[in-house]
Amino acid sequence: MSFFSFGQSAEVSIVLDGQENRRQAEIKTEDGKRDKCYLYFDGETVSGKVNVTLKKSGKLEHQGIKIEFIGQIELYYDRGNHHEFTSLVKELARPGELTQSTSYNFEFSQVEKPYESYTGANVRLRYFLRVTLVKRIADTVKEQDIVVHTLSQYPEMNTSIKMEVGIEDCLHIEFEYNKSKYHLQDVIVGKIYFLLVRIKIKYMELQVIKRETTGSGPNTFNENETIAKYEIMDGAPVRGESIPIRLFLSGYELTPTMKDINKKFSVRYYLNLVLVDEEERRYFKQQEITIFRRADKVRKNYQAALSHHNPSLLSDGSGNSKSLSQPQQLEREGEEQEGNRKEEEKVEADGEKS
């Protein structure tokens, strides 16, 4: 991108070292399109060459040329303020004149890139190089984005999630997932076991929900997106029936879990078990999981470790919440939005029971 002024003008381009052999990764833009950018990791050196090409013969006076490496968070509802968490500057040329096209080498050695690149519903985290050729009337500016992936390393131990839930005197089920931390190419394996069935269940499905949280306090915004749906069963189950679950994550657009990134936003994932009865009443139970990016070269210590599950309080969706020790009660789906504004492990009902 070039900005032109009167008289001589120049075009600026950035060529990264080794870019012909460097992997590229897709990143979603604000308008929903996809761009491919060169991929870097935390601690990698970012180096290359800046080419300044004069548009016509003659000289170009400038007030200096600099290159910046910037990592910033952009909140869409606060576009006037960009929150920079990384900012490095190198001077390429002092004020003077250019009489011919010139190239400048640059290097940001072992630069820290603590967070993964991300574009969401209300926030964007990006890394980019910006070259500024300062002129008297209008500067010439060139920006080039890069993509950063963060790799996670976990101990091998990964405890399963197991919970009993139900509706008092109507339904009692036990569900189990093989672990609660999954890499982006992983498979969710589990089972549903029906201990008591006294309501007519129409179907049951498992959803993967992404919750993007921006802001803090009264200015907190939650954006929920259903990433995946997996139909567990279609028809009424019977007591003692066990249904297996196998959901492949590689086919879905997922990012790693991001918690309290620079105190600006979070991205969390939940497994949502949904039951629908013949009267179209929907009951659900959410369980948070962690998703991480594993290195392409699999190593033993890249396996996920699991944090122990905290039991939650549940209701059946009627106007009166009930307190049960075992099993916990399923929540009506219509109450999820209200429940999101409360503590994550406590759910209150506000629907009507038919």
Q: What would the mean pLDDT of 313-323 be, rounded to a whole number?
A: 32
Residue 3 has a pLDDT of: 43
> Which pTM was predicted?
0.79
- Residue of 323 and 275 predicted with greater confidence: 275
> For residue 311, what pLDDT is reported?
31
**Confidence band of 165 (pLDDT split at 50, 70, 90):** confident
Residue bearing tokens 């992936």: 149
Q: Is the pLDDT of residue 316 over 50?
A: no
Task: Report the chain's mean pLDDT, rounded to a whole number.
Answer: 81
Question: How does residue 200 score in pLDDT terms, banded at 50, 70 and 90?
Answer: confident
What average pLDDT does this structure show over 320-332? 46
Q: Identify whether the C-beta of residue 175 lies closer than 8 Å to the C-beta of residue 205.
A: no
**pLDDT over 90 (residue 254):** yes
List pLDDT tens digits, range 55-94. Answer: 887 889 999 999 999 999 999 888 778 899 999 999 999 9
**325 or 296: which carries more pLDDT confidence?**
296
> Lowest-pLDDT range, 17-21, 123-127, 231-235, 310-314?
310-314
The per-residue pLDDT for 56 is 81
pLDDT at residue 7 tops 90: no
Please state, for a pLDDT cut of 90, what percent of the chain lies above it: 53
For residue 187, CA distances in Å to 206, 242, 253 come to 13, 19, 14
What is the band of 150 on the pLDDT scale with cuts at 50, 70, 90?
A: very high
pLDDT at residue 257, rounded to an integer: 95
**What pLDDT score was predicted for residue 334?**
54
pLDDT of residue 314: 33
Tell me the domains of the chain and their CATH numbers. 10-149 (2.60.40.640), 161-340 (2.60.40.640)
Lowest mean pLDDT among 1-5, 115-119, 299-303: 299-303
The pLDDT of residue 34 is 87
Q: Residue 324 above 60 pLDDT?
A: no
Confidence band, pLDDT 50/70/90 cuts, at residue 187? very high
d(CA 85, CA 67): 17
